[in-house]
Amino acid sequence: MTEYNFAYLDEQTKRMIRRAILKGLAIPGYQVPFASREMPMPYGWGTGGVQVSAAVLTPKDTFKVIDQGADDTTNAVSIRTFFQRTAGVATTTATSDATVIQTRHRIPEEPLHEGHILVYQVPIPEPLRFLEPRESETRKMHSLEEYGLMHVKLYEDISRHGHIATSYAYPVKVEGRYVMDPSPIPKFDNPKLGDMAAIQLFGAGREQRIYALPPYTQVVSLDFEDHPFEASKADHPCGMCGATDSYLDELIIDDLGGRMFVCSDTDYCEARQAAGHKGKDAA
């Protein structure tokens, strides 16, 4: 533990990141530029989330990392080990025990509480990026609240697919002001973004942006009056724990078209199985 400064980053860097986080919390949904550091992992693996986590972790925290809901995938394991070694904080896979949760692409099924911090890894923080390639122009659009273009994307979805086919990274409007990319979480998780008790922080390392949602922020998913937003999931119960209210992954289990649906949140699924719930595919 003497080899590294607490949580890897030097104190000045953490200070800089905390200032960006505070500004982000003060202006919910606004993308705050920050001087992203080179981290010992490739861009796209969560360099933004790791820097935000490093800046908010304290020695007393209990840290959890999820990747697509799972605690045991490469990204989750490597980041958890990284902070075990560089910060010496306690780690857990149980959502209820954690105080800081870094996540890629999911919000845990279990409700989070005040005092929790949820850190998202964000690949592309700019919701307007694929509609308007000029960053100078998108910044102007944010500052002048010109968000008609965002609906053009939804319009295109409906005209091509008959419904709003965007199923992840579904754009939201924060407190009636900023349009925000909630990172590539499934739109099933969008309703959880709003009015959440925990602090939500978003870090984009390559793009050098931090944004945030303070607790109990109003977050509205964009839609049309005649095509309202719908949080969708696979229409099945979980094969392992039988849950009907959780977001499911579809697994191909043989080459004969066999498939099963299981909770993407592994901790939630395991806790339910331990409590005696059983799905139809459980061994």
Partner 1 sequence: MTPLLSVQGITKRYGAHIGCADVSFDLYPGEVMGIVGESGSGKSTLLNCMAGHLTPDAGHVVFDTRTDGPRDTITMSEPERRMLGRTDWAFVHQHARDGLRMGVSAGGNVGERLMAVGDRHYGDIRDKAMDWLGRVEIDASRVDDRPRTFSGGMQQRLQIARNLVTGPRLVFMDEPTGGLDVSVQARLLDLLRGLVRDMGLSAIIVTHDLAVVRLLADRLMVMKSGRVVESGLTDQVLDDPQHAYSQLLVSSVLQV
Q: Interface residues with partner 1 (CB under 8 A)?
A: 131, 144, 146, 148-149, 151-152, 155-156, 158-160, 224-227
Q: 92 and 63 in contact (C-beta within 8 Å)?
A: yes
In this structure, how many other beta carbons lie within 10 angstroms of the beta carbon of residue 235? Answer: 8
Phi and psi, residue 259, nearest 5°: -150, 155
What's the CA gap between 104 and 112, in Å, rounded? Answer: 16
Q: Which of 69, 203, 241, 279 is catalytic?
A: 241
Q: How far is the CB of 145 from partner 1 (least distance, A)?
A: 8
Q: State yes or no: is 238 an active-site residue.
A: yes
Q: Of 156 and 281, which CB lies nearer to partner 1 in the complex structure?
A: 156
Q: State yes or no: is 203 an active-site residue.
A: no
Q: 234 and 273 in contact (C-beta within 8 Å)?
A: no
Q: How far is the CB of 147 from partner 1 (least distance, A)?
A: 8
Q: Of 144 and 275, which CB lies nearer to partner 1 in the complex structure?
A: 144
Q: State yes or no: is 69 an active-site residue.
A: no
Q: Of 72 and 137, which CB lies nearer to partner 1 in the complex structure?
A: 137
Q: Which of 69, 239, 269, 279 is catalytic?
A: 269
Q: 243 and 237 in contact (C-beta within 8 Å)?
A: yes
Angstrom CA distances, 10 to 16, 238, 242, stand at 10, 44, 46
Q: Which of 69, 238, 239, 279 is catalytic?
A: 238
Q: How far is the CB of 226 from partner 1 (least distance, A)?
A: 5
**Per-residue tokens: 12:** 């000045």
Q: State yes or no: is 269 an active-site residue.
A: yes
Q: Of 156 and 175, which CB lies nearer to partner 1 in the complex structure?
A: 156
Q: Which of 29, 176, 258, 279 is catalytic?
A: 29
Q: Of 26 and 152, which CB lies nearer to partner 1 in the complex structure?
A: 152
Q: How far is the CB of 148 from partner 1 (least distance, A)?
A: 3
Q: State yes or no: is 24 an active-site residue.
A: no
Q: Of 216 and 224, which CB lies nearer to partner 1 in the complex structure?
A: 224
Q: How far is the CB of 154 from partner 1 (least distance, A)?
A: 8
Q: Which of 49, 205, 239, 263 is catalytic?
A: 263
Q: How far is the CB of 224 from partner 1 (least distance, A)?
A: 4
Q: 52 and 37 in contact (C-beta within 8 Å)?
A: no
Q: Which residues are catalytic?
A: 29, 238, 241, 263, 269
